[in-house]
Amino acid sequence: MTLSKTTFRQNSLKTLKNSPVHNRLYKTSLVNKKLLMLLKSKKRQKILFYYPLDMEVNIVKTLVKLRKKHDIYIPFMVEQSFKMVPFRLPLRRKKFNIFEAGNTNRKINKIDIAIVPIVGMDGNLQRVGFGKGMYDRFFEKLQNKPYTIFTQLELCYTKEFICDAHDISCDVLITPKKIIGII
Return the pLDDT at 102.
84
Instruction: Read off the pLDDT of residues 82-124 as tens digits, 9 standing for 90 and up.
Output: 888 999 888 888 877 788 788 888 888 889 999 999 999 999 9
**Which value, in Å, is the radius of gyration of the alpha carbons in the chain?**
16
Instruction: Read off the pLDDT of residues 121-167 as tens digits, 9 standing for 90 and up.
Output: 999 999 999 888 889 999 998 889 999 999 999 999 999 999 999 99
Q: Over pLDDT 70: what percentage of the chain?
A: 99
Residue type, 179: I
User: Which domains can be identified in the chain, with CATH numbers?
Assistant: 5-181 (3.40.50.10420)
Return the pLDDT at 93.
87
Return the pLDDT at 1.
56
Query: Can you give the three-state secondary structure of 86-124, one letter per residue?
Result: ECCCCCEECHHHCEECCCCCCCCCCCCEEEEECCEECCC
Residue 2 scores a pLDDT above 80 = no
Burial of residue 101 (CB within 10 Å: 0-12, 13-18, 19+) is buried
Return the pLDDT at 128.
94
Q: How far apart are CA 146 and CA 161, in angstroms?
A: 23
Show Cβ contacts of residue 174 under 8 Å, excluding neighbours closer than 6 positions.
31, 34, 35, 38, 57, 149, 150, 151, 152
Residue 33 scores a pLDDT above 90 = yes
pLDDT band of residue 177 (cuts 50, 70, 90) is very high
CB 50 within 8 A of CB 75: yes
Return the pLDDT at 101.
86
Average pLDDT of the chain, as a whole number? 90
Q: Which of 101, 121, 107 is nearest to 12 (CA)?
A: 121
Which backbone phi and psi does 74 adopt, to 5 degrees? -135, 160
What is the pTM for the complete model shown?
0.92
Residue type, 15: T
Question: How confident is the model over 61-67, as a mean pLDDT?
Answer: 92
Q: Which of 61, 154, 162, 59 is nearest to 115 (CA)?
A: 59
